[in-house]
Amino acid sequence: MSQAPLLSVENLAFERDDSCLFSGVNFSVDPGDVLQIEGANGSGKTTLLRMLTGSLQPSAGNISYLGQALSACRYDYLSDMLYIGHQPAVKLNLSAEENLRWMVATSAQSNDVSVKDALTQVGLAGYTDLPCYALSAGQHRRVALARLLISEARLWYLDEPFTSIDKQGVAFLQSCLQQHVAKGGAVILSTHQDLSLTGLRRYKLVSDVEAIA
Amino acid sequence: MTSHVARKMDSGFAAWLRRDLLLAYRRRGEVASPVIFFIMVSTLIPLGLTPEAAELEKVAAGMIWVMALLATLLSMDALFASDYQDGSLEQMLITPQLLPLPILGKVTAHWLTTGLPLTLVSPVLGLMMSLPNAGYVPLVCSLALGTACLSLVGAVGAALTVSLRKGGLLLSLLVMPLYMPVIIFGTATVSYAVDGLNWLPPLAILGAMFAASVALCPLAAAGALRVTASN
């Protein structure tokens, strides 16, 4: 096994319009880790996650994947990563099944769990053919989360995955995360929930704006 | 990772094309509006101008082309807008595939649902505008190539303005100068044919514009979307 961590972040900072949102963020993630990003509203949790996906450029600092800078291994890194953002990326005019099929077709690695099975597991068995505008917010989130069951990516970035999900859903998602880290995956998520997962670590994001005040 | 993992990823082109066509099918009414606009305006012109065939045939080609351009422009700002709002655009930006390919898939779906129907109804409108017989084949050929150019160039404008809440007007201003060569050579193709000249040279120039747009516009749109996302 290589010495370099799966993902490591050094001295990451983000500035916008001359004001610094956060700086000096350091952590590393190995297979089997769950890292919970904590912080007040507006402290930059979503920004940090989007930075990890490569869609935002950090103002300073480095992100490296298996010891390599992201720019040097962009394809491998993005193939090994799954990001579910604040917006579930669910098209209201398509059915749950069509949405998931499209998401799977555009993602790099997938296992042999079928789309129908995944939707059944997340509790949408009777809803697969309905257009998504007929479903609730929590059900939209479940459609997006069904991707987790099909994905073979090792790094999962989940931005507030528990939003509008009921208690059973929260329990299911936690067991899903637990299975993922047991298989050698890693999860970085932002949430305000108290999680009971083995391998859980917390990282408190302190906004610079807050620190000055 | 585990051995049963199959790298069965496609280029992203087919997946986005299929999804956008399916979405267009679900929103048939909305998607048909540029074509309906095209038909309505072209129907009104003989009423407003003159029903005289001799007068109409002089302006027919130009009018049909102007309407096709405006109809395409109307539909352009919706290309990325809903994907931007619901987060699918963000997912598109972080796929490992080359970004121009999913964009080309989306633009192809756009052309199949606006440019192609416009091209197919244009002979009927030509009939209404008393287009001389020699003009029909060149009209259809030039619209088929020209509307594809319009969709491709418009995608760059749509990508640049996607994060603006009211980007519609700015989009029109941005792409209008780039649309001008298309309409000039589009109408030239038809009027050369009507005048009995060889209409292949202006059509060939349209073809060249199309080739250049296919090669360059998805790249430009990809760059624009990356800039948009980092804001």
Mean pLDDT of B13-28: 92
**Predicted local distance difference test score (pLDDT) of residue B95:** 87
Q: Identify whether B8 is part of a domain.
A: no
Checking if the pLDDT of B10 tops 50, the result is yes
| Res B7: pLDDT | 46
pLDDT at B4 > cutoff 60: no
**B66 vs B137: CA distance, rounded Å:** 18
- Please say whether the beta carbons of A208 and A15 come within 8 A: no
- B157 is a domain residue: yes
Q: Inform me whether the pLDDT recorded for B1 exceeds 50.
A: no
Which of A21, A46, A79, A106 would you mutate first to test chain B, the one with the most B CBs within 10 A?
A106
| B34 lies in some domain | yes
Residue B82 main-chain phi, psi, to 5 deg: -75, -30
Q: Does any domain span residue B142?
A: yes
- Kindly state the tokens that stand for B167: 């980007």
Q: What is A1-80+156-162+186-213's CATH number?
A: 3.40.50.300
In a domain, B6, yes or no: no
Question: Are the C-beta atoms of A98 and B22 separated by less than 8 Å?
Answer: yes
Cα of first residue to Cα of last residue in chain A, in angstroms, is 45
In-domain check, residue B1: no
**Closest-CA residue of chain B to A87:** B87
Are the beta carbons of A151 and A112 closer than 8 angstroms? no
* Residue B3 placed within a domain: no
ipTM (interface predicted TM): 0.86
Task: Give me the residue label for tokens 């999680």.
Answer: A195
For chain A, the domains span: 1-80+156-162+186-213
- Chain A residues closer than 8 Å to B26 by CB: 93-94, 131
* Domain span including residue B121: 13-229
**A-contacting residues of B 90-109, CB under 8 Å?**
90-97, 102
In order along its 213 residues, chain A shows pLDDT tens digits of 456 889 999 888 888 877 888 888 889 999 988 999 988 888 888 889 999 998 888 888 889 998 888 888 888 898 889 999 888 889 999 999 999 988 888 877 777 788 888 899 888 888 888 999 999 999 999 999 998 988 888 999 999 999 888 989 899 999 999 999 999 999 999 988 888 887 788 888 887 765 555
CA dihedral B210, B212, B214, B219 (to 10 degrees): -150
Surface-to-core class of residue B180, CB atoms within 10 Å of its CB (0-12 exposed, 13-18 middle, 19+ buried): exposed
Reference A145, options A83, A202, A196; nearest CA is A83
What's the whole-model pTM score? 0.90
Domain count, chain B: 1
CA distances A40 to A49, A206, B54, Å, are: 15, 8, 73
Record: contact B88-A89, CB cut-off 8 A = yes
Give burial (CB, 10 Å; 0-12/13-18/19+) of A204.
exposed
Q: Has residue B98 got a pLDDT over 90?
A: no
